[in-house]
A and B are shown apart, each in its own frame.
Chain A
Amino acid sequence: MTATQIIQLYVFILAGFVGFLVITRVPHLLHTPLMAATNAISGISLVGSIVLAGGQYGKVATILGFIAVVCAMTNVVGGFIITDRMLGMFKRADSTPTDTTGAGGSA
């Protein structure tokens, strides 16, 4: 293994911890938008797909890359739109100025 690869493992493990700490605090209320959001973010494969589609690695690689770009972009666009649509629906009651019971914020 190279030094770079060791550092990549660090990045992976630390990002995993961050993810774990952040996501355990997301309330049940928003678990469906959370799934839609992570689904959109998993479209990050787009980054790899773009390099494959645009680099000169031969015809097969270009075609695979092209299909991958389509798939990942579909995920990104659809995923972020639907997440936004869902989150836009979550509204408070106008008559309740303060959230005393913690329905929204409970972990």
Chain B
Amino acid sequence: MTALLLLAGLPTAAAGAYLLMSGSTGASLDAIGGRELAVQLTYLVSSVLFILGLRSLTKTDQARRGMQMAALGMVFAIVGTLLNQEILTYSWIVAGLVIGTVLGYPLGKFVPMTAMPQRIAFSHMFGALAATLVGVGEYYHGIQAPDATGLDRFKMAAIGFEVLFGALTVTGSFMAFGKLQEFITGKPITYPGQNVSNIALFAAAFGAFVWLIFNPEQTVVFYVMLAVGFAIGILMVLPIGGADMPVVVSLLNSYAGLAASATGFAINNDVLIIAGALDGASGFILSIVMSKAMNRSFGNVLFGAFGSAPTASAKTSEGLVAKSISAEDAAVQLAYASKVVFVPGYGMAVAQAQHQVRELAELIEKNGGEVKYAIHPVAGRMPGHMNVLLAEANVPYDKMYDMEDINDQFSEVDVAVVIGANDVVNPAAKNDESSPIFGMPILNVYEARSIIVLKRGMNPGFAGIENELFFDEKTNMLFGDAKSSLTKLVSEVKSL
């Protein structure tokens, strides 16, 4: 802060130069006043803190501190904004900040880690709604301005973009939230002509957007565009299955960022542009990572309705018998193994079995075995979901391995324990060209010396495909709820 105050006293020439570089207010090149300068410098500081905060996430041991800096950056941004000369009354602002804090605190403090995907989807809705409302407010304000300069084409384009992306993110996130929380069916909802009607809606929204840039005074068009935006969000997510939600949530993350950036363009605010661009890039990268890990294109996830019609695979389970194993025998196998790898999947999250996994791992380690965790990029319902659950159960993060880091070690593994994972360990992705998941990168669990699969029953995985791993002669199935199976294993190993 001292540095800030010092800088605020610099000669006006410097202020003018800063304005020229940051281009924050109006087109005037005149020096800006001390107060405005303070505001702009605060924004600059918070932008830098955001970037440093995100950068800290590349180093796990610095991440927490870094994100605290980013939070400080947000405080700077808020304080800077409160200094804004356009603000005349503070009562509504303070009330809003207080209510937001009261609502936000439990959402941060008490939501369980297993519910993280829907929690993130839910709060995208809030962020996007804020951006949308600001867009509507700006438009409403601009249209009422007596002079026609209220909404030039650039500003109208920014507002249009903001409102359109904001609106579809609001409803899209709500749908994703519903599907993850399972009050909306996780199955893809399809109907004839779906893609055609969706594309028509996109075209209508785009048409309205372009129309408004040239005719901003057409308020009806504006509100129609808003409504279409909301509709697109719903209809876009309807045909996408629950297991594809990681891609959707990442993509909506990106949209929420872009909407914030557009807000920045509309109200001449650089910190909004920068923070929004960072978010936009992040969400975009994550959705690409997810799509790649599923071996599918973006377009296929969004328009493919993958799960609706499981393509008949050439291989069926007919004539094959899966061997089941008792908890006692499995415990013996694990207790005397020297290398064990756990492969968690969504089933572990559903059963909330992460603590039992860690307990079992500790027992194996006590017997002299080495334990690692192999995590597929799309295991779970959001990127990195399994890592967070295991970390919550006090599994040290240096024992969690990414797919590419552990895949060539499986041949030396004595026992691989698959917990509620299916498609991500299905060898059909490698050797069965007719399989719908052919080409998807998988964990090479089939190379392990022996395999124990914890599974509820013999239902095929999300993709509706039989998993030949389960019929491999090295594989033993331990049927039952993951949590109770693991609890049994723990007590069996203890009693050995």
Contacts and interface: CB of A to CB of B under 8 A. Distances in A.
Question: A interface, by DSSP: helix, strand, loop or mixed?
Answer: helix
Given A32-B385, A65-B134, A83 B67 contact: yes
Interface string A35-57: 11111111111111111111111
B50 to A, nearest CB: 6
Most buried by A among B51, B64, B392: B64
A31 B81 contact: no
A90 B285 CA distance: 23
B111 A52 contact: no
Interface string B373-384: 001010000111
A59 B267 CA distance: 19
B50 A34 contact: no
B88 interface: yes
A66 B96 contact: yes
Contact of B257 (A20, A42, A62, A104): A42
Interface string B81-100: 11010111110110111011
Contacts of B271: 44, 47
Contacts of A91: 391, 394, 396-397
Interface in B381-405: 382-385, 387-388, 391-392, 394, 396-402, 404-405
Most buried by B among A6, A68, A83: A68
Contacts of B140: 57-58, 60-61, 64
B321 interface: no
B436 interface: no
Interface string B51-84: 1011101111101100110110010011011101
Most buried by A among B23, B105, B249, B283: B23
Interface residues of A, number: 96
B158 to A, nearest CB: 9
B130 interface: yes
A32 B382 contact: yes
Contacts of B53: 37, 41
Interface in A58-107: 58, 60-62, 64-94, 96, 99, 101-107
B277 interface: yes
A19 B92 contact: no
A47 B108 contact: no
B60 A104 contact: yes
Given A19-B280, A35-B250, A69-B97, A56 B88 contact: yes
Interface stretch (B120-128, B204-212, B452-460): B120-128
A76 B71 CA distance: 8
B269 A47 contact: yes
Most buried by B among A28, A49, A101: A28
Contacts of A101: 398, 401, 405
Contact of B123 (A20, A39, A48, A99): A39
Given A32-B388, A64-B140, A81-B108, A3 B27 contact: yes
A34 B57 contact: yes
A72 B21 CA distance: 28
A19 B261 CA distance: 13
A38 B281 CA distance: 10
B92 A80 contact: no
B137 A68 contact: yes
B278 A30 contact: no
A2 B95 CA distance: 36
Given A23-B285, A49-B130, A74-B104, A33 B384 contact: yes
B373 to A, nearest CB: 9
Contacts of B24: 4
A1 to B, nearest CB: 5
Given A38-B278, A44-B260, A58-B144, A80 B71 contact: yes
Contact of B127 (A18, A32, A43, A67): A43
A2 to B, nearest CB: 5
Given A33-B388, A48-B267, A73 B97 contact: yes
Given A34-B384, A46-B130, A41 B275 contact: yes
A52 B397 contact: no
A11 B274 contact: yes
B74 A11 contact: no
Given A37-B70, A52-B134, A56-B89, 8 more contacts: A20-B281, A23-B54, A49-B130, A52-B137, A73-B103, A74-B104, A76-B100, A103-B398
5 contacts: A65-B134, A72-B100, A73-B101, A80-B70, A85-B108
Interface of B: 21-27, 47, 50-51, 53-55, 57-61, 63-64, 67-68, 70-71, 74, 77-78, 80-82, 84, 86-90, 92-93, 95-97, 99-101, 103-109, 111, 113, 116, 119-120, 123-124, 126-127, 129-131, 133-134, 136-138, 140-141, 144, 154, 249-250, 253, 256-257, 259-261, 263-283, 285-286, 289, 375, 377, 382-385, 387-388, 391-392, 394, 396-402, 404-405
